Amino acid sequence: MFTGIITDIGRVLNVEQQGDLRARIGTGYDIDGIDIGASIACDGVCLTVVALGRTPQNWFDVQISAESVGLTNVGGWQADMRINLERALKVGDELGGHIVSGHVDGMAEVTAMHTQGDSTRITFAAPTALAKFIAPKGSVALNGTSLTVNEVEGASFGVNLIPHTQEVTTWGDVVLGDKINLEIDTMARYVARLREWD
């Protein structure tokens, strides 16, 4: 489990197809505190650490299944690309965002961006099948970042990014047309499922 509060910006060092896709990610995390088999959310995708090292900087390797590649933007990862990182939640940690599983549901496309005061308003087009789970003032995880939905119109929804969020995540890199990993709120999923039985 994660919270959607980004704690490091990693850098993709290498991506190789080795049966599954394998990626090496440079990190500011102290790798002495990371175990093989640990879960790290990489742009919101929960991935398992399969190797660790320090040359030329701290790094960890992850393997990504074909299903994960198909549902996420991981297939577009390239060397030197920056990605949002979050380590798994520990018992007793502060829950600053919302409960995030790291199981991405699909991709939303950036369709509009404009400045609003000091913040940036971004509008996304969600996959039609996921749009019903997105509600105004509800939570979504976008590239692993816990964000509050401002408005919804059909399959389109918007969020507001304050300057701090853009500085401590990769949101300052985003441009029109980008495909963003979308995880809907777990509670919204269960509410929708329960309504099917009414």
- Full set of structural domains in the chain with CATH: 8-87 (2.40.30.20), 106-195 (2.40.30.20)
β-pair partners for 11: 26, 82
pLDDT in tens, 116-164: 999 999 999 999 999 999 999 999 999 999 999 999 999 999 999 999 9
Q: Is the dihedral of CA 94, 99, 100, 101 positive or negative?
A: positive
Share the mean pLDDT of the chain.
93
Q: What does the alpha-carbon distance between residue 156 and residue 188 come to, in Å, rounded to a whole number?
A: 17
Distance of CA 188 to the CA centre of its chain: 18
Predicted local confidence at residue 198, as pLDDT: 62
Distance of CA 146 to the CA centre of its chain: 8
Phi first, then psi: what are they for 58, rounded to 5°?
-60, 135
